């Protein structure tokens, strides 16, 4: 079976609210072997929503709707589903009594419009809601399934887990979806695809998806089969070829970010790390310490944004700064050597550059960054250039700094 998720509510079409329910639903549908082919957000419009449901039923076997089950006039999900299925609705006194009982337990009077939540679509099964007043509904027709779930995540998750997943599992053949998530550094998206496209294009299963971020590309393989063993075998067949093709650019096959991979290697080796940052303004240290357990290998760092602190805290010679400026190979080298000496760490990484939008020179334009790495075998400096805005330059600098260390630890 394939599925489509429709999040209902005009508020989800504004910057203030984000649909997170679909992520949770997708995760659990995939665990049953159900592929989510589309997600959409539809405002509080009966006609528009009914049309979206009709189109979804033509595409997929399972339609999951979240939101729009409240008591007000703009809660239109029940009406739209009934229209899409060509069914009527009727008032159910037993459902209304349960809603009233919940209000009584909360010691609150039930408003008259809450009776709208007791309108049930012809032939639908009522899904109890122990965490709210809006019951859900489960509807089947011509081999198709529609689930009507409340919008608040606390209510939706409990209803989906307890009421919908068991019903859906009983309808499904034995099938599973398994995912392998590769992450790659040091390659552009087009360069990476040129390397791996000849591999993955030969296979319809698993499906390959390439996701690009600043300095970090993810390659997701999704295998679908009737057993976990077969799905894993499909992943291994394609994955082994991709791993061999990508070589040292591939830094993980379990989806972990670069800071986690570097941290794991430092911990395994019993080694430590410190940082000296200028243009990244603490971003590198933040990424390192975002990993639980980083205190086992991260000793600390220096945020030396001005030349005076580079001298006072890291011991950078003022004459070096005057002769070469702060954005230079000699200063990056002096920063990382000073950092390692003062912290006693196994490795030290420094970052200095022009993040922009101002401050560049003809020799070192905005986007130029020098990254120093000092360790037991000496010190080296890498120069990079990153186009884009200030945030992109800083993110790329932190990514290359971590990747340079990763390669050293390999």
What confidence tens digit (pLDDT) does each residue in 330-343 have?
A: 999 999 999 999 99
For the segment 202-214, the average pLDDT, to the nearest whole number, is 94
- Please state the pTM of the whole predicted model: 0.77
Q: What percent of the chain has pLDDT over 70?
A: 100
Rounded to 10°, the helix 77-85/46-59 angle is: 50
Identify the pLDDT of residue 392.
Answer: 95
What are the φ and ψ backbone dihedral angles of 404, each rounded to 5 degrees? -60, -45
Identify the pLDDT of residue 177.
Answer: 87
Identify the pLDDT of residue 173.
Answer: 80
Identify the pLDDT of residue 332.
Answer: 98
Q: How many CB atoms lie within 10 A of CB 38?
A: 15
What confidence tens digit (pLDDT) does each residue in 93-128 have?
A: 999 999 999 999 989 999 999 999 999 999 999 999
Per-residue pLDDT at 398 exceeds 80: yes
Rounded to 10°, the helix 189-200/228-246 angle is: 130
Identify the pLDDT of residue 216.
Answer: 96
Identify the pLDDT of residue 176.
Answer: 85
Identify the pLDDT of residue 1.
Answer: 83
At residue 251, the 3 state secondary structure works out as: strand
Per-residue pLDDT at 45 exceeds 90: yes
d(CA 221, CA 150): 32
Identify the pLDDT of residue 226.
Answer: 87
Q: Where are the alpha helices (DSSP H) in 278-345?
A: 283-289, 307-314, 318-324, 329-343
Identify the pLDDT of residue 172.
Answer: 87
Rounded (5°) CA angle 207-213-218: 30
What confidence tens digit (pLDDT) does each residue in 279-325 have?
A: 999 999 999 999 999 999 999 999 999 999 999 999 999 999 999 99
Q: What percent of the chain has pLDDT over 90?
A: 95
For the segment 185-209, the average pLDDT, to the nearest whole number, is 95
Per-residue pLDDT at 44 exceeds 80: yes
Alpha carbon separation from 220 to 38, 163, 207, 231, 235 (Å, rounded):
18, 31, 8, 14, 10
Identify the pLDDT of residue 175.
Answer: 80
Identify the pLDDT of residue 363.
Answer: 95
Identify the pLDDT of residue 244.
Answer: 97
d(CA 125, CA 138): 5
- Check: CB of residue 84 under 8 Å from CB of residue 50: yes
- Cis peptide bond prior to 206, omega within 30° of 0: yes
- Check: CB of residue 214 under 8 Å from CB of residue 144: no
d(CA 178, CA 237): 13
Q: Where are the beta strands (DSSP E) in 67-204?
A: 89-91, 119-121, 125-127, 136-141, 144-149, 176-184
Per-residue pLDDT at 174 exceeds 90: no
Helix (H) or strand (E) holding 159: helix 153-159
Helix (H) or strand (E) holding 209: strand 207-213
d(CA 333, CA 320): 11
């Amino acid at each position: 079976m394939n599925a489509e998720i429709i999040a209902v509510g005009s508020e989800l079409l504004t910057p203030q609210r984000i649909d997170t329910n679909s992520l949770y639903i997708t995760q659990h549908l995939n665990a049953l072997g159900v592929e989510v082919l589309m997600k959409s957000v539809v405002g509080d419009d009966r006609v528009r929503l009914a049309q979206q449901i009709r189109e979804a039923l033509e595409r997929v076997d399972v339609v999951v709707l979240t939101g729009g089950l409240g008591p007000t006039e703009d809660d239109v999900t029940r009406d739209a589903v009934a229209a899409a299925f060509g069914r009527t609705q009727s008032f159910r006194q037993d459902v209304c009594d349960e809603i009233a009982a919940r209000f009584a337990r909360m010691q609150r009077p039930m408003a008259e419009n809450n009776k709208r939540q007791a309108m049930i679509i012809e032939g639908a099964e009522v899904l109890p809601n122990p965490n709210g007043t809006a019951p859900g509904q489960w509807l089947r027709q011509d081999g198709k399934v529609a689930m009507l779930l409340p919008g608040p995540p606390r209510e939706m998750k409990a209803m989906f887990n307890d009421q919908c997943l068991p019903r859906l599992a009983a309808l499904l053949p034995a099938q599973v979806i398994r995912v392998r998530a590769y992450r790659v550094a040091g390659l552009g998206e087009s360069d990476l695809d040129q390397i791996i496209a000849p591999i993955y294009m030969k296979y319809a299963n698993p499906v390959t998806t390439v996701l690009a971020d600043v300095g970090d590309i993810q390659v997701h393989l999704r295998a679908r089969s009737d057993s976990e063993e077969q799905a894993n075998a499909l992943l291994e067949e394609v994955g082994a070829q991709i791993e061999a093709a990508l070589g040292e650019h591939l830094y993980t096959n379990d989806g972990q970010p670069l800071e986690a991979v570097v941290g794991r290697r430092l911990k395994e080796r019993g080694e430590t790390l410190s940082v000296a940052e200028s243009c990244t303004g603490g971003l590198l240290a933040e990424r390192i310490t975002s990993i639980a357990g980083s205190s086992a290998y991260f000793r600390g760092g220096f945020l030396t944004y001005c030349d005076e602190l580079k001298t006072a805290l890291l011991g950078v010679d003022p004459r070096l700064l005057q002769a070469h400026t702060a954005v230079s190979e000699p200063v990056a080298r002096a920063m990382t050597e000073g950092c390692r000496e003062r912290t006693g760490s196994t490795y030290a990484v420094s970052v200095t550059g022009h993040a922009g939008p101002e401050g560049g020179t003809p020799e070192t334009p905005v986007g130029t960054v020098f990254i120093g790495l000092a360790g037991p075998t000496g010190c080296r400096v890498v120069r990079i250039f990153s186009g884009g805005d200030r945030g992109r330059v800083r993110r790329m600098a932190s990514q290359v700094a971590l990747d340079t260390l990763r390669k050293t630890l390999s």
